Structure 1
Amino acid sequence: MHGPAEGLLTTHQLAARPEFTLAGVRIDPATRVVSGPAGSCQLEPRVMQVLALLADARGGVVTRDVLFARCWGSVFVGDDSLNRAIAGVRRGLSAVGAGFAVETVPRTGYRLVGEGFGAAGEQADPALDAQTGLLSRRNLIAGGGSLLVGAAGLAWWAGTRAGRDPATPLIAKAQQAMRAGTAEGQRTAVALLDQAVRQSPRNAAAWGQLALTVARVDEHVFANTVTSGPKVDEAAQRALQFDPGNADAEAALVIAVPYYGNWLAVEKQFDRVLARHPGHLYANDSHSFMLGAVGRMTESARSRLQLSPDDPYDSQLQYKAIYCHWFLGQVTQADQAAQRAFDMWPRLAPVWFARLWLLNGTGRTDRALDQIETEQGRPKMPPAMIAVLRNAHLAAMSGDPAAIAASTRQVLASVRTSVAAVVNAFMLLQLMKSLDAVFALAEAYYLERGPVLAALNWRPGQPFAPDQRRRKTNMLFTPLGKEMQRDPRFLALMRDIGLADYWKRRGVLPDFLRERSA
């Protein structure tokens, strides 16, 4: 056990607590609803318990032992349970646009910092400290600063004692911008975090968020190749300098590593990070995506669906739920997830394409074509891309060899423009069952062999042609790829790109091979 059960904050006690306002955020413990300038969300019972204790401390530090004792009592749980609850509080505050956040005090506990707090811990009620064992800032100073971890932590506290840390509201705004899932939102988030570390250069949370945000933006970039590794590494190292073990920094360092052709080594890095930070939302999300990239689609889908309820306002998490339900054969749930996402984020390209491939992969190509033709809700796309999509769907529906051949040529002509065009081409060629063409595209994209040139954007005078650092493989393993997976050339392709060796060394089977063996 982590501490005495005396003072256990039960769900019944939560239900009896009146609603209160904390720095402009309305918190109702009874219904577990938190409301702020950006909206409302409902927290899990344990997450609300943790938030209530942090609120009671009024900016003082709540130790991990106190949180375990008062939220879990005599029930033994691992550190991951508390880490996940803290992550839930952070996501909830970010979701509602709170001007304050949860700060980790290394090897001690947590406190609320930002608007409405500042040096509030100095005015904490001594009786509250005695009753709960909370560690306020005044307690830390009275102890000669011995409980603060290192000179860096003391310097940070001294620098922010007179007022709130200017980085805190910037971090909250950046997190909100990222949730939109747009390129503009991503640029805004990075700019806000750049500002945060300039204004508060010793703030580990700001550096960690900057590293994580840049890594997430670069992870799924579909435009020209972006090389953000040095920025991720610099920001992560600064975060770790001030907060050894900073979860965002450690997650960013593994998310930023390209794993095409290096799957086993990177997966082992994910294993190490998740062992240390099992509740980290975005490390888990990125790991789930990687499982799909190596053909473990069922594992990937089940893992990611566990993350979706953690942040219902994050478009990047929610659109992926459409794919997850589809891969698990849960068509009704996939349709429902798609409709929710369409309602919440109209014209968002990832949502639109997720629904498009779901419809095609479940025998509803006519409805997919109707989605293409309907301007309302369609994201902004070049007319040429719309034409490629339309013609491929018409050809697939007709089954006419001449129409399929013409559309196949049109699709292959589009793949030089971007990685997004390559991803679409794999799906469209599989839809039309143009197997020779899809294998030719695979040879070009993964192995740079054959006559097709895929996703190269080279100009005379450049020293090299930008490569796709990550080279997506997930689209090879969707239900639309069944015909390709059954073709003898598929296993040869898997050997050439190194996935067969990964499966052997990892001791796992991809879904399509497991289905064959069954």
Structure 2
Amino acid sequence: MIDLARSSDFALGPIAVRPSSRELVGAAGAVMVEPKVMRVLIALSQADGRVVPRDDLVNSCWDGRIVGDDAVNRVIGKLRRVAEEVGGGAFRIETVARTGHRLICEQPKIPAAVAEALPAAHQRRIRLPVVICAAVLLVICTFAWFYADRPKTPAAVVHQGLPAAVTDLETRGLASMFENAPDRTAEGVDYLRQATVLAPRAAPVWGSLAMSYVLSLGWAPPEERAAVVARVRSAANRALGLDPREARSAAALVSVQPTFGQWSSKDAALGAASSRAYPDFGPLAYQRVQFLMATGQNRAALAAMRPIIATSPLVPWVRAAYIDLVAANGRLEDADRAAEEAGRIWPRDRLIWFTRFDLAMFNGQPEKALALAADRSGWPKQTSADEIELAVKTAKALQSRGDDTARLLQTLVTVAPHGQVEAERAIRAAAALGRPDLALAVARRLLTHRLLANPRRTVIPYIGLPANTEVPTATLFLSPAISLAPQPGFLDLMRDVGLVAYWHHARPPDFCFDEPLRTLCRRAGM
């Protein structure tokens, strides 16, 4: 894997290439490129005009991960645009059919020291109108999520005084993370690593890197998660060593602390982090919302969510959780409006799409869910046709209540062991279709870790530690699974996972304040 931080500057004709800052600088100005684009340019340049096979490019620029031709073609296309924009014909990329690519330098090379001789204005100027226009929503949400209501602390003043290249890298990195796609997440981490190289004593930048590692956990294979968690802690501790109140680092450390089965410890950790860190910080507040949802306190979660949604309306997982919470608090019309708006902003985001589909399907509007699924061009990214088909079958069963219901339930129970997302969908569907016994059976298997866990995808938005021991419980406190609460065996299951003990010492869940469960909860000591 080409290491940009350790790659030397070089020149392509009159163009200075600076791998560590990912800049190409020429007489017409400068442009900053994505990490993979710079890696591919380096790999082609090192070949000295020879053809570089695609497999070699993948090994050195994608770390050997399996990527399709589209991914390579996209990067080659970006390189060609850069060659035209700042290269002025100094170099070009040639594709050799069924073989690979090569870089052809049209002008004589000059020493790499040209980078030092170029005008300072060229070194500072980065022309990105197309990128800025295309990503304006992500930039807005990045600043809303990470910078809104930031107090004028010493750390904030230091952050504001950083070079433009550092703040640009940080903003690009966080915006990439918010696209919720594996390649863009990896690029976001690369951007933020580069930012820490350029600003090694900026606590907020290290905090941003720690949060980027947290967000990348959702895409990490099980065997790599421990290493990613170690990176979270390393970056967060580096930030806290520079500024003990740095809020992103506090949020990152809390997010990788176990929740399931350790409810009181997580609650205490959230309280300690909130009291220690700078106030009014979105990611730390969202950790509290997640915890409240996981412990069945959706009324308090909605109250805690309101200031977050007001300052950070363009973060997809915040919007998805808000929709679920509004619906859980009985405000279905408001939830519908919020879901429609989210669909206009993120029509193919997986989390938003399924939040909209499930909201309609499980709240008396299966025909609306089916209409959403009928548009194949609008299907969510990172989703298989089989998963959509099973969701459609569930909606049709809820619509017709016909003879196919039994077959569907058998299918759902069969696929439930495949992972958490499948189990959560089976629980909700069985509860909605009048089979609480099946729903509770799947829930017990899920919560007692007797599934082939694949926790990278969950029904409810979850930012934090996706270890096999972490089982999101929020699904059980949303419609229609909340209907299981009065069923025999539900409180026994909650007792087995430690929630009854937590509720006894902290605050009972919402269902304990409503009849007929008030008496049942009182008998259970809540």
Please report the TM-score for the alignment, with normalisation by the length of structure 2.
0.64
- Indicate how the Cα distance of structure 1 residues 429 and 229 shifts in structure 2: closer, same or farther if over 3 A, else same: same
Q: d(CA) in 2 for partners of 1:444 and 1:41?
A: 39
Q: CA deviation at 1:445?
A: 1.3
On the 8 A contact 2:350/2:380 being kept in 1, the answer is yes
Q: Once the two structures are superposed, what CA deviation does each residue of 1:435-478 show, in whole Å capped at 9, x if it has no partner?
A: 222122122111145xxx44369xxxxxxxx9623201000000
Q: d(CA) in 1 for partners of 2:339 and 2:415?
A: 27
On the 8 A contact 1:422/1:455 being kept in 2, the answer is no
Q: Counterpart of 1:170?
A: 169
Q: Counterpart of 2:426?
A: 425
Q: Counterpart of 1:470?
A: 470
Q: Counterpart of 2:148?
A: 88
2:179 pairs with 1:180? yes
Q: d(CA) in 1 for partners of 2:370 and 2:351?
A: 17
Mapping 1:498-509, distance limit 5 Å: 498-506=498-506, 508-509=507-508
Q: CA deviation at 1:284?
A: 0.4
Q: d(CA) in 1 for partners of 2:361 and 2:146?
A: 40
- Indicate how the Cα distance of structure 1 residues 221 and 327 shifts in structure 2: closer, same or farther if over 3 A, else same: farther
Identity %: 24
Q: Counterpart of 1:196?
A: 195
For structure 2, list consecutive stretches of 5 or more residues without a partner in the other structure.
Answer: 1-123, 126-131, 456-465, 520-526
Q: CA deviation at 1:288?
A: 0.2
Q: d(CA) in 1 for partners of 2:184 and 2:480?
A: 31
Report SS of the residue matched to 1:244.
Answer: coil
- Indicate how the Cα distance of structure 1 residues 111 and 468 shifts in structure 2: closer, same or farther if over 3 A, else same: closer
On the 8 A contact 1:295/1:511 being kept in 2, the answer is yes
Q: Once the two structures are superposed, what CA deviation does each residue of 1:132-191 show, in whole Å capped at 9, x if it has no partner?
A: xxxxxxxxxxxxxxxxxxxxxxxxxxxxxxxx2643221111122233333343222212
| Aligned Cα root-mean-square deviation (Å) | 3.3
Q: Counterpart of 2:493?
A: 493
Q: Counterpart of 1:271?
A: 271
On the 8 A contact 2:177/2:215 being kept in 1, the answer is no
Q: Counterpart of 1:112?
A: 160
Q: CA deviation at 1:397?
A: 2.5
Q: Counterpart of 1:295?
A: 296
Q: d(CA) in 2 for partners of 1:419 and 1:41?
A: 29
Q: CA deviation at 1:333?
A: 1.7
- Indicate how the Cα distance of structure 1 residues 345 and 470 shifts in structure 2: closer, same or farther if over 3 A, else same: same
Q: Once the two structures are superposed, what CA deviation does each residue of 1:52-75 show, in whole Å capped at 9, x if it has no partner?
A: xxxxxxxxxxxxxxxxxxxxxxxx
On the 8 A contact 1:421/1:455 being kept in 2, the answer is no
Q: Counterpart of 2:92?
A: none
Mapping 1:282-431, distance limit 5 Å: 282-380=283-381, 381-400=383-402, 402-431=403-432
On the 8 A contact 1:433/1:483 being kept in 2, the answer is no
Q: Once the two structures are superposed, what CA deviation does each residue of 1:183-215 show, in whole Å capped at 9, x if it has no partner?
A: 343222212112222333333222111112222
Q: Counterpart of 1:151?
A: none
Report SS of the residue matched to 2:489.
Answer: helix
On the 8 A contact 2:361/2:398 being kept in 1, the answer is no
Report SS of the residue matched to 2:148.
Answer: helix
- Indicate how the Cα distance of structure 1 residues 503 and 222 shifts in structure 2: closer, same or farther if over 3 A, else same: farther
Q: d(CA) in 2 for partners of 1:239 and 1:409?
A: 51
Q: CA deviation at 1:391?
A: 1.9
- Indicate how the Cα distance of structure 1 residues 36 and 369 shifts in structure 2: closer, same or farther if over 3 A, else same: closer
Q: d(CA) in 1 for partners of 2:394 and 2:187?
A: 36
For structure 1, list consecutive stretches of 5 or more residues without a partner in the other structure.
Answer: 1-22, 25-34, 44-50, 52-83, 91-101, 115-163, 458-465
Q: d(CA) in 2 for partners of 1:36 and 1:385?
A: 34
- Indicate how the Cα distance of structure 1 residues 484 and 430 shifts in structure 2: closer, same or farther if over 3 A, else same: same
2:248 pairs with 1:248? yes
- Indicate how the Cα distance of structure 1 residues 310 and 184 shifts in structure 2: closer, same or farther if over 3 A, else same: farther
On the 8 A contact 1:360/1:431 being kept in 2, the answer is no
Q: d(CA) in 2 for partners of 1:290 and 1:111?
A: 30
Q: d(CA) in 1 for partners of 2:399 and 2:234?
A: 51
Report SS of the residue matched to 2:339.
Answer: helix
